[in-house]
Every structure is written in structure tokens, then in C-alpha cells.
């Protein structure tokens, strides 16, 4: 009989007492979060002691604005849900910054996250044990996120970490060739960061007078957010109960 997800999670907790182990039900997905200082040693132990010989994916994550909604999907008697008022994730112009939701732009501040902002997430596979695990490590410094490179453990991580560096600006210490892989050499910023405008920072056009391609701040695009497809709860029963209770209270 194969080992259950919870039994495997208990073995991880016993081996890594300083890590946070979780099991997502009902899928039985096991995840482990290492302190950033223990990330490299933890990954090496997962390979050598737990048989995770394959790294199948690695990516960066930006938790800025995590948990905030673009739309209020609560059911009300006023009809459709409202959109947020503030300059939310990606919805700001060149030179502006992200702000918290508010009725006006006055006095708004950049929205941060109470926890840590940048994380690297690796998906590991053990073919011999037919098992997977998700490994997470949060960078200690939001201004300069640094995480150890695992290319010495799984060489396939090379391009994954380059992509994460390019798109999120996470620096992988010990990487043999950490440079951009998707954006241009002169690209400014990291486009998957939540404080990077959806319209970008610069636009490219051909200048007839200069007879060459020029880069300049975005002027021809307005930031916008589309209406998401949401499934609203049927509140007719709750409304009827509330009205009935109000009538009884009035009598």
C-alpha cells in the first residue's frame, strides 16, 4: 500500500522541524515552506533522502496585493457588483504607483503585504516513489529578493530561474548565468511584478525625423480592467428569511 499524503507530511515535519508543511485537501497535495536560509540544504535533502530526483517546474511569485479583490462579488439589492475605485494591480499610468482601494486618490499609499512579498516555488517529482511535493521559499528582502540557486542540485532549474529573475527580479545566488531570457536586453523593470503597469513603462515607435526606433514613456494606452466572469450566490432564500425576521420584529 502506498504512503498517504498525511504520512508523508509527517515524515517531512520530523525531518525539517523548522519548515512549514501543509496538505491541500481533497487533492492531497503536499507543500513545504523552508526559511530562505534553509532552502538550498532542504532541497538537497529532498533529492538525496526522499528521492525527488526531478524538478519539473520552478517559478517566482509576487504576493503584493494578495487577498485584495478587483471586484466586490457580494450579492446586494443594488444589482451588479461594483468595481474597485483605487489604482489596483497593474491599473495605473506611467509614473504612478499602486494604491489601496479608496473612494478617492487623495492620501492613498502603496499597497503592501503584511507577510513577505517575493517567493520562489519549485515543483518536485519522485518517479521511484510516484510522489510530488511543492517547495516554497520567501525572499527576506523585498527591495532585493535573493534566493539560493538550485542549479547545482537540478541543472534543469537553469532556465526556470532565469525566467523568474527576468519576470520577477528574484536574484538566484550561485546561478552560473543569471541574465534575462524573455525580455529585451534593454528592458526596464520586471513585467510580472504586481507594481508593473499592465500598459508597460515604455512604448516603441519609429521616429520619422530621427529615422530610427525610439523608446519613450507610454502615452497612447490607457490602463483598464475588464469585467471578470463571476458566479454569484443565490441570495433569494436569505433575503426572504431576513424580510420575514424583520416583519416579526416589527410586530
How does pLDDT run across 209-234, given as a tens digit for each residue?
999 988 888 776 666 655 555 555 66
Q: Does residue 19 surpass a pLDDT of 90? A: yes
pLDDT of 5: 94
Q: What is the mean pLDDT of the chain?
A: 82
Are residues 123 and 225 both part of a single domain? no
How much of the chain, in percent, has pLDDT values that exceed 90?
51
Are residues 1 and 89 both part of a single domain? no
Average of per-residue pLDDT across 174-187:
91
Are residues 174 and 204 both part of a single domain? no
Are residues 95 and 218 both part of a single domain? yes
Task: Show the cell assigned to 107.
Answer: 492620501
Q: Environment class of residue 87 by beta-carbon count within 10 Å: exposed (0-12), middle (13-18) or buried (19+)?
A: buried
Instruction: Provide the domain count of the chain.
Output: 2
Q: How far is CA 152 from CA 169, 237, 240, in A?
A: 21, 59, 63
Least confident of 78-82, 195-199, 208-212: 78-82
Residue 21 belongs to a domain with what CATH number?
A: 3.30.460.80
Q: Please give the backbone phi and psi of residue 246, each rounded to the nearest 5 degrees, phi first.
A: -65, -40
Least confident of 80-94, 103-117, 149-163, 221-235: 103-117
The answer to whether residue 187 sits within a structural domain is no
| pLDDT tier at 70, thresholds 50, 70, 90 | low
Q: Please give the backbone phi and psi of residue 24, each rounded to the nearest 5 degrees, phi first.
A: -90, 115
Q: Does residue 191 surpass a pLDDT of 80? A: yes
pLDDT of 102: 43
Q: Does residue 103 surpass a pLDDT of 50? A: no
The answer to whether residue 188 sits within a structural domain is no
What is the value of pTM for the model shown? 0.73
Last residue of a domain, one of 154, 182, 210: 182
Are residues 238 and 140 both part of a single domain? no
222, β-bridge pairs: none
Are residues 127 and 231 both part of a single domain? no
Q: Name the more confident of 243 and 110.
A: 243
Are residues 232 and 149 both part of a single domain? no
Q: Environment class of residue 220 by beta-carbon count within 10 Å: exposed (0-12), middle (13-18) or buried (19+)?
A: exposed
| pLDDT tier at 20, thresholds 50, 70, 90 | very high
Last residue of a domain, one of 157, 182, 207: 182
Question: 157 is in which domain, residue-wise?
Answer: 1-64+116-182
Task: Show the cell assigned to 6.
Answer: 498525511
d(CA 208, CA 17): 64
Amino acid at each position: 500500500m502506498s504512503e498517504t499524503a498525511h504520512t508523508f507530511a509527517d515524515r517531512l515535519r520530523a525531518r525539517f522541524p523548522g519548515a512549514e508543511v501543509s496538505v491541500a485537501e481533497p487533492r492531497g497535495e503536499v507543500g513545504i515552506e523552508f526559511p530562505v536560509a534553509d532552502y538550498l540544504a532542504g532541497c538537497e535533502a529532498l533529492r538525496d533522502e526522499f528521492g525527488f530526483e526531478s524538478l519539473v517546474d520552478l517559478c517566482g511569485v509576487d504576493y503584493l496585493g494578495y487577498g485584495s479583490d478587483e471586484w466586490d462579488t457580494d450579492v446586494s439589492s443594488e444589482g451588479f457588483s461594483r468595481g474597485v475605485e483605487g489604482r489596483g494591480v497593474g491599473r495605473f499610468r506611467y509614473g504612478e504607483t499602486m494604491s489601496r482601494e479608496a473612494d478617492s486618490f487623495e492620501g492613498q499609499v502603496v499597497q503592501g503585504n503584511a507577510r513577505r512579498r517575493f517567493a520562489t516555488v519549485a515543483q518536485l517529482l519522485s518517479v521511484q516513489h510516484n510522489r510530488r511535493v511543492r517547495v516554497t521559499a520567501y525572499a527576506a528582502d523585498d527591495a532585493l529578493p535573493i534566493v539560493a540557486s538550485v542549479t547545482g542540485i537540478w541543472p534543469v532549474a537553469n532556465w526556470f530561474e532565469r525566467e523568474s529573475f527576468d519576470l520577477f527580479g528574484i536574484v538566484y545566488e550561485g546561478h552560473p548565468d543569471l541574465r534575462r531570457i524573455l525580455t529585451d536586453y534593454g528592458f526596464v523593470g520586471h513585467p510580472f511584478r504586481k507594481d508593473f503597469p499592465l500598459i508597460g513603462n515604455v512604448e516603441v515607435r519609429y521616429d520619422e525625423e530621427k529615422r530610427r526606433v525610439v523608446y519613450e514613456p507610454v502615452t497612447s494606452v490607457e490602463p483598464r480592467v475588464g469585467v471578470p466572469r463571476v458566479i454569484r450566490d443565490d441570495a433569494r432564500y436569505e433575503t426572504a428569511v431576513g424580510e420575514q425576521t424583520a416583519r416579526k420584529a416589527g410586530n
